[in-house]
């Protein structure tokens, strides 16, 4: 699924970063990687959050960017080459069973990965294992559904036309699986981390035209891309019209601003 979405994530990288940079930057600020440190990015996708850390750790530091999807890793590798980064390695790793040495990293970063994993407790235990004692974990998950109209507005339009399965069981992997910050903190503590701090990290999808947002989101979403491919033009137009109506409350100046909220967590 993520291999299929990787092309859209690469093509739309700048637009996505424009909307979400506060989350990547917030995580890196929380973890504060220092020159010479070794950083692991988990579920790195196209790699942008880790690349911010790579700049801070410098040539004497090391970033290992990991993901389960080889296509995401390939996109990340192309970006690192564009940026001229020479302190980054790329590894295909399942976060729930990391083929990485114990106590070998100072910092672990994970933006929007943990809640998608069937066994987040295993991923956190593995993260604790590969971090050195005192090593920092900074991760972000999506906050509650109602705080994320950037996602629920378009999902609502598809859902109203019977084009999406009902939302997953709250205990199944999914965008909002770890939206309860108490539950998230409990999971992190159970994996052996302490000194847990939480920080709200907002996102804003600002766009002038409905088509602009529609184009990006349907290209990056692993679920919506497949649905659209199965529809005829009239069906697509009907969902798009519905989506446009649902966007009306979010008019802002001469465009729209669909907000969202990530929860950032720092632990040691």
**Interaction site with ligand SAM (CB under 6 A):** 2, 43-46, 48-49, 67-69, 72, 94-96, 111-113, 116-117
Question: What is the nearest approach in angstroms of ligand SAM to the Cβ of residue 126?
Answer: 10
Question: What is the nearest approach in angstroms of ligand SAM to the Cβ of residue 239?
Answer: 22
At residue 31's C-alpha, the angle toward residues 25 and 33, to 5°, is 90
Nearer to ligand SAM, 113 or 143 (CB): 113
Nearer to ligand SAM, 72 or 261 (CB): 72
Measured CA to CA, the distance from residue 9 to residue 95 in angstroms comes to 20
Token pair, residue 255, equals 């465009």
Question: What is the nearest approach in angstroms of ligand SAM to the Cβ of residue 76?
Answer: 9
Nearer to ligand SAM, 45 or 61 (CB): 45
DSSP symbols for 5-64: HHHHHHHTHHHHHHHHHHHHHHHHHHH---TT-EEEESS-TT-HHHHHHHHHH-TTSEEE
Measured CA to CA, the distance from residue 44 to residue 51 in angstroms comes to 10
Nearer to ligand SAM, 73 or 147 (CB): 73
Nearest residue to ligand SAM, by Cβ distance, number only: 45
Nearer to ligand SAM, 16 or 242 (CB): 16
Question: What is the nearest approach in angstroms of ligand SAM to the Cβ of residue 49?
Answer: 6
Nearer to ligand SAM, 53 or 95 (CB): 95
Token pair, residue 225, equals 């891309």
Nearer to ligand SAM, 111 or 136 (CB): 111
Question: What is the nearest approach in angstroms of ligand SAM to the Cβ of residue 47?
Answer: 8
Question: What is the nearest approach in angstroms of ligand SAM to the Cβ of residue 204?
Answer: 16
Question: What is the nearest approach in angstroms of ligand SAM to the Cβ of residue 197?
Answer: 20
């Amino acid at each position: 699924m993520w291999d299929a979405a990787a092309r859209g994530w690469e093509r739309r990288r700048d637009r996505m970063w424009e909307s979400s940079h506060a989350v990547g930057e917030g995580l890196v600020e929380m973890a504060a990687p220092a020159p010479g440190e070794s950083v692991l990015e988990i579920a790195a996708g196209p790699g942008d959050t880790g690349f911010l850390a790579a700049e801070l750790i410098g040539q004497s530091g090391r970033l290992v960017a990991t993901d389960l999807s080889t296509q995401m890793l390939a996109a990340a590798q192309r970006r690192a080459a564009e940026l001229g980064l020479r302190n980054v390695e790329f590894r295909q790793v399942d976060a729930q069973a990391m083929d990485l040495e114990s106590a070998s990293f100072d910092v672990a970063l994970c933006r929007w990965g943990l809640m998608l994993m069937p066994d987040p407790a295993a991923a956190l235990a593995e993260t604790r294992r590969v971090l050195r004692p005192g090593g920092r974990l900074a991760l972000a998950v999506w906050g509650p559904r109602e705080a994320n109209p950037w996602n629920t507005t378009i999902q609502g339009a598809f859902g109203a036309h019977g084009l999406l399965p009902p939302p997953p069981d709250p205990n199944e992997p999914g965008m909002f699986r770890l939206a309860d910050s108490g539950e998230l903190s409990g999971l992190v503590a159970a994996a052996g981390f302490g000194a847990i701090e939480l920080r709200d990290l907002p996102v804003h999808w600002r766009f002038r035209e409905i088509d602009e947002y529609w184009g990006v989101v349907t290209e990056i979403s692993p679920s919506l891309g497949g649905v659209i491919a199965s529809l005829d033009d009239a069906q697509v137009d009907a969902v798009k019209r519905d989506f446009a109506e649902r966007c009306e409350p979010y008019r802002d100046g001469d465009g729209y601003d669909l907000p969202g909220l990530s929860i950032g967590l720092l632990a040691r």
